[in-house]
């Protein structure tokens, strides 16, 4: 009788267990639940990602060109990409289709080289990595850590690798993984936008021509429509059709009417990127002579920028952390002998790592940059320094004689005692007009019934160096060709100028808060390499012996408990 009751209890427990499993399966088919138990919520997508993915009404094809035999760090990045795309598919199902391709895995060299050229032409950047071979040697492999995203006949390149030479390789890969959600979602948003936003380069004041801004223009053209034009003083609304205005290193003063049109454009919500040189000096002027005078430049913009919240100082920064230039160290009448020497007037600027525009950004190279100060206490305007010099900075006032001898002489380090001077400032808020409380008809020659003295909320970027947006030129076969923006021909490095300007423009025009995804932080948990070397054998034994021991232990424990249970 007692055995029968025991069997009935066992059957009831079994039936309850089966019923519970069936109920859980039924509920899980109708209720979608996911739990992200990671400390940094690396598998939790942001609300803006949910919103943009929800707008997809057709299939998005993603071809990721990172596969095959890869080092550990790149395999981790490849797996992170796969996990991110899987997270997208959880939300939208088969509307996200993806594949991984190894461009180096093609046996036919001609076909492989042709694919590499196609990927480069489409905007994917390649990088060389070192592969450890089984025999103990190493080999080089060209990889394209990026993707081509296609949607409704449109195709867009997405470069996923962040390469900041100042950071360790593991940190660069971690920054790249942190930025995956932003890179993919921003490309989706661009292709979903029913209207392509318009960006205009201003002309008429000696601004940089098309060839000198070709490096950034090519990058901007992948996301926005680009225009170039002058301000029509007869048409006060001539800028209203543009979503953003770029003023790239003007040389001539602005008229009051031009200032008025720009002012009203900003107060009506327009975005402006100012790249201004407060001091007139150019490295090209030192090509044919060993010295030149740096003079204060009057562009008639000081009062306007001051009203918006910044002041551009008529000085130059010298920085110990700077570019190198070739300097002739040969004596007179000897064969020229060039050696690299620091050029303190070309500082390498560091970004604000807490802001989405400059987070994880490579150094930005500058040339004859000035100090920019934030002024005013208007609570409606937020001022954020995006670029600043290093801890070893010197500031010299203009006018000043600039000589190449500076690169030949050992500097007095005690003079470089003005650290972290700001060079680029982001302004956000509701600006006041510089023409408030003034007779408008006396300025522009007529009345303006639409004049505003207080503006809508908007954003602008002010940079006290016009050369940050300028790319160098090389001549091939007598034809001038632009070099990539940020490329330094002497060191062969490419700095972060292009990414800085493109990120800034994206931030100025970002209405959905998408750029905030760039502030996402995943904790980098690196192994202690010294302890790994010291305790390698111990951990190998533990990893090999402990799992079988645990299995055997719990097997014996289960067998003992079962015998004890049924012995009664």
Q: Is residue 30 part of a domain?
A: no
Q: How many domains does the chain have?
A: 3
Residue 165's pLDDT is: 72
Q: Is residue 4 part of a domain?
A: no
Residue 424's pLDDT is: 98
Q: Are 368 and 322 in contact (CB under 8 A)?
A: no
Q: Do 454 and 476 belong to one domain?
A: yes
Q: Do 334 and 308 belong to one domain?
A: yes
Residue 117, phi then psi, degrees to nearest 5: -65, -40
Q: Are 427 and 457 in contact (CB under 8 A)?
A: no
**231 Cβ contact list (under 8 Å, min separation 6):** 202, 204, 238, 239, 257, 258, 261, 262
Q: Are 358 and 461 in contact (CB under 8 A)?
A: no
Q: Do 507 and 538 belong to one domain?
A: no
**pTM, rounded to two decimals:** 0.82
- Of 339, 287, 292, the residue nearest 316 (C-alpha): 292
Three-state secondary-structure class, residue 37: coil
Q: Do 76 and 109 belong to one domain?
A: yes
Domain end, chosen from 170, 191, 212, is at: 191
Q: Do 108 and 219 belong to one domain?
A: no
How do the pLDDT tens digits run along the chain, 568 residues long? 555 666 677 777 777 878 878 877 776 665 555 666 566 566 678 888 899 999 999 999 999 999 988 888 889 999 999 999 999 998 898 999 999 999 888 888 888 889 989 998 888 888 887 776 665 566 777 888 999 999 998 899 999 988 777 777 778 888 888 889 999 999 998 888 878 899 999 999 999 999 999 999 999 998 899 999 999 999 999 999 999 999 999 999 999 999 999 999 999 999 999 999 999 988 777 767 778 899 999 999 999 999 999 999 999 999 999 999 887 766 666 777 778 889 999 999 999 989 999 988 999 999 999 999 999 888 999 999 999 999 999 999 999 999 888 887 888 889 999 999 999 999 999 999 999 989 998 888 899 999 999 999 999 999 999 999 999 999 888 889 999 999 998 888 899 999 999 999 999 998 878 888 887 766 656 666 677 777 778 878 888 888 888 888 888 887 887 777 766 5
Q: Is residue 28 part of a domain?
A: no
Q: Do 465 and 320 belong to one domain?
A: yes
Q: Do 299 and 354 belong to one domain?
A: yes
Q: Is residue 186 part of a domain?
A: yes
Q: Is residue 252 part of a domain?
A: yes
Name beta bridge partners: 342: 324
Q: Do 461 and 440 belong to one domain?
A: yes
Domain end, chosen from 191, 212, 237, is at: 191
SS (H, E, C) 348-373: EEEECCCCCCCCCCCCEECCCCCCEE
Q: Do 466 and 537 belong to one domain?
A: no
Residue 567's pLDDT is: 64
Q: Do 244 and 141 belong to one domain?
A: no
Residue 420's pLDDT is: 97
Q: Is residue 259 part of a domain?
A: yes
Domain end, chosen from 191, 211, 235, is at: 191
**Can you read off the two tokens belonging to residue 213?**
């801004």
Residue 235's pLDDT is: 93
Residue 182, phi then psi, degrees to nearest 5: -65, -45
Q: Do 51 and 176 belong to one domain?
A: yes
* Residue 131's CATH number: 3.40.30
Q: Show the domain range for 500.
A: 195-516
Q: Do 295 and 171 belong to one domain?
A: no
């Amino acid at each position: 009788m007692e055995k029968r009751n025991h069997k009935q209890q066992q059957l009831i427990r079994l039936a309850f267990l089966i019923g519970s499993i069936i109920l859980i399966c039924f509920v899980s088919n109708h209720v979608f639940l996911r739990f992200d138990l990671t400390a940094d919520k690396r598998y939790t997508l942001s609300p803006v990602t949910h919103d943009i993915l929800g707008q997809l009404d057709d299939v998005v094809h993603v071809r990721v060109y990172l596969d095959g035999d890869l080092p550990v760090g790149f395999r981790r990045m490849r797996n992170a990409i796969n996990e991110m795309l899987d997270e997208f598919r959880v939300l939208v199902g088969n509307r996200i289709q993806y594949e991984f391709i190894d461009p180096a895995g093609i046996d036919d060299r001609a076909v492989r080289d042709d694919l590499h050229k196609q990927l480069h032409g489409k905007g994917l950047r390649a990088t060389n990595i070192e592969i450890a071979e089984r025999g103990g040697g190493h080999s080089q492999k060209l990889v394209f850590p990026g993707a081509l995203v296609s949607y409704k006949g449109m195709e867009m390149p997405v470069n996923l690798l962040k390469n900041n030479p100042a950071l360790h390789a593991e940190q660069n890969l971690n920054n790249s993984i942190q930025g995956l959600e932003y890179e993919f979602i921003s490309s989706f948003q661009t292709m979903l936008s029913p209207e392509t936003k318009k960006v205009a380069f201003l002309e008429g004041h000696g601004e940089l021509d098309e060839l000198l801004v070709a490096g950034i223009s090519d990058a901007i053209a992948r996301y926005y429509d680009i225009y170039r034009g002058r301000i029509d003083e007869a048409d006060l609304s001539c800028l209203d059709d543009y979503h953003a205005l770029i003023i790239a290193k003007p040389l001539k003063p602005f008229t009051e009417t031009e200032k008025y049109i720009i002012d009203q454009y900003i107060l009506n919500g327009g975005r402006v990127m100012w790249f201004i040189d407060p001091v007139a000096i150019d490295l090209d002027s030192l090509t044919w002579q060993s010295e030149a005078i740096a003079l204060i430049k009057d562009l008639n913009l000081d009062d306007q920028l001051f009203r918006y919240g910044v002041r551009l100082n008529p000085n130059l920064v010298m920085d110990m952390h700077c570019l190198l230039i070739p300097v002739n160290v040969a004596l007179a009448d000897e064969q020229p002998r060039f050696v690299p020497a620091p050029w303190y007037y070309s500082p390498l600027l560091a970004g604000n790592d807490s802001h989405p525009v400059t987070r994880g950004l490579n150094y930005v190279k500058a040339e004859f940059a000035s100090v920019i100060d934030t002024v005013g206490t208007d609570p409606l305007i937020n001022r954020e320094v995006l670029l600043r010099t290093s801890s070893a900075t010197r500031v010299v006032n203009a006018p000043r004689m600039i000589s190449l001898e500076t690169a030949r002489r050992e500097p007095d380090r005690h003079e470089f005692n003005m650290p972290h001077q700001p060079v680029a400032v982001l302004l956000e808020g509701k600006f006041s007009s510089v023409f408030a409380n003034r007779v408008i008809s006396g300025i522009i020659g007529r009345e303006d019934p639409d004049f505003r003295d207080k503006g809508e909320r908007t954003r602008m970027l002010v940079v006290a160096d016009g050369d940050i947006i300028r790319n160098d030129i090389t001549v091939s076969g007598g034809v001038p060709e632009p070099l990539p923006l940020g490329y330094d021909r002497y060191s062969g490095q490419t700095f972060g100028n292009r990414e800085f300007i493109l990120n800034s423009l994206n931030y100025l025009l970002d209405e959905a808060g998408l750029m905030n995804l760039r502030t996402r932080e995943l904790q980098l948990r690196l192994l202690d390499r010294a302890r790994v070397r010291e305790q390698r054998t111990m951990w190998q034994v533990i990893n090999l012996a402990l799992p079988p021991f645990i299995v055997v232990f719990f097997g014996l424990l289960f067998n003992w408990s079962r015998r004890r249970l049924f012995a009664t």
